Amino acid sequence: MARKKSKPVESGYALFDVLYEDGSRSSNRRVPRSILGGFDGDEPARKAIEEQDNTIAEKAGRPRIPIKKITRSPV
């Protein structure tokens, strides 16, 4: 008997590409899907990524670079 192909598992995260004001880029940043959607769309993702950046910058001992633009990563 042949095995059925399994469907892709729906991840609990959405992936975003981030472009910073200094021209640097960060790809595939994970944001929980539970905070996305509704009237705000992807705007909560910016806040979540900024919080992640604040944590990283604090641990590295350097200032956080402001975000210029965020877009969803292509699937």
Give pLDDT < 50 ranges for the chain: none
pLDDT value of position 1: 62
- Asked if 70 contacts 49 with a C-beta cutoff of 8 angstroms, the reply is yes
Q: Rounded CA gap, 39 and 45, in Å?
A: 13
pLDDT value of position 24: 95
Question: Three-state SS for 4?
Answer: coil
pLDDT value of position 11: 63
pLDDT value of position 7: 56
Domain ranges of the chain: 13-72
pTM: 0.76
